[in-house]
Amino acid sequence: MSAPTVVRPAPARPAPARVPAKRRAPGARLWEASPLTYLALVFAIVLSVFPIVWSFIIASQDSDAIYDYPPRPGGLLLTNMRHALSNDDASLILGLVNSAIVATAVTVSVVFFSTLAGFAFAKLRFRGRNALLLATIATMMVPTQLGVIPLYLLMVKVGWTGQLQAVIVPFLVNGFGVFMMRQYASSAVPDELIEAARVDGCSTWRTYWNIVLPALRPAAAVLGLLTFMQTWNEFLWPFIVLNPNTPTVQLSLKILAAGYYNTDYAQVFAGTAISVIPLLIVFVLFGRQIISGIMEGSVKA
């Protein structure tokens, strides 16, 4: 990857001006959406949505109805959800609460440290800034999953296995967040504002807290959403370091599924539905922001 540029694409490209048909450039044909374009996209979306819809259908049936084809929705969604929630082995409610705690803690920390470091990288001058920024980008390329064995040994040593801090503390920062905030701060906070604050005797901390942080709010919100969803969905590390007594929601799901393979699919699928619904709500409410976050975050090279 080459060095990052400060350039970000405009979140929404202004729609090309409508040109009367006769004067349209020959290339314009490429930008027009034919019915076929819509058809292809709708097909792709149907494929994207179908497994989710299907899992909700299974979750709404009697568990024997799984053998009936084609699948038809039943009226037992809430009953099945109640069964899933009251399954003692899976402790889904505890899993949901734990995941909410973990994801919130990680999100607050990632957003805080990322805005702080992003501000420093974008707006403060210090020796070694470029080298440190490059190092930050390099950390995004490190497959940290390869470190889980020593991380586990470390957790054993400090006695954190089976405790929530084991899945919080290692994820308090990430390079992606720092880089994303740095890119946004470069363009969203004018240098003059920082200078003016300094002339007025503002300390660096107050400049961050009163000027930079409010300006970064939109991007910080997107980073927060992405971090929250990612933490909520984390599987491998909780699977290794936690145990069934302190599950996260993904671990509860795994226990639910493993215990009930071949038997009560309706309950298992009601459980997956419960775990996915919070994310779907977040996605419906903030989909636009999440999409712009992914698209902007990707422009790095």
Touching another protein, residues 88-107 (CB under 8 A) = none
Count the site residues for another protein by CB under 8 A.
Answer: 110
CA dihedral sign, ordered 243, 247, 250, 251: positive
Q: Which two tokens stand for residue 155?
A: 């957790």
180 scored as a contact of another protein (CB under 8 A): no
C-alpha span between 22 and 51 (Å, rounded): 45
Dihedral sign computed on CA atoms, order 272, 221, 97, 79? negative
Residues 35-54 that bind another protein (CB under 8 A): 37-38, 40-41, 44-45, 47-49, 51-52, 54
Residue type, 44: A
Q: Which stretch binds another protein (CB under 8 A): 77-85, 184-192, 214-222, 283-291?
A: 283-291
Return the HEC string of 79-120: HHHHHHHCCCCCCHHHHHHHHHHHHHHHHHHHHHHHHHHHHH
CB nearer another protein, residue 24 or residue 82? 24
**Is residue 108 at the binding interface for another protein, with CB under 8 A as the rule?**
no
Nearest approach, Cβ of residue 75 and another protein (Å): 21
Pick the piece of the chain touching another protein (CB under 8 A) from 77-85, 86-94, 157-165, 290-298.
290-298
Q: How far is the CB of 79 from another protein (least distance, A)?
A: 19
Question: Residue 10 and residue 7: Cα distance in Å, rounded?
Answer: 9
C-beta closer to another protein: residue 76 or 241? 241
Interface residue with another protein, options 98, 160, 254, 270 (CB under 8 A): 254
> How much is the CA Rg of the chain, to the nearest whole Å?
24
Q: Does 209 help bind another protein (rule: CB under 8 A)?
A: no
> Using the rule CB under 8 A, is 25 a contact of another protein?
yes
For residues 186 and 118, give the distance between their C-alpha atoms in angstroms, rounded to a whole number.
9
75 makes contact with another protein (CB under 8 A): no
- Contact status: 19 vs another protein (CB under 8 A): no
* Cβ contacts of 247 within 8 Å, gap of 6 or more: 90, 91, 94, 95, 98, 238, 255
- In this structure, which amino acid lies at residue 47? L
Residues 128-147 that bind another protein (CB under 8 A): 129, 132, 135-136, 139, 141-147
Calpha distance 258→265 (Å, rounded)? 11
Structure-block tokens of residue 290: 């999440």
Identify residues 187-206 at the interface with another protein (CB under 8 A). Answer: 198, 201, 203-205
Pattern 216-245, another protein, x by CB under 8 A: -------------x--xx-xx---x-----
Which residue number, 78 or 294, has a Cβ lying nearer to another protein? 294
Q: Does 291 interact with another protein (rule: CB under 8 A)?
A: yes
In 3-state terms, what secondary structure has residue 238?
helix
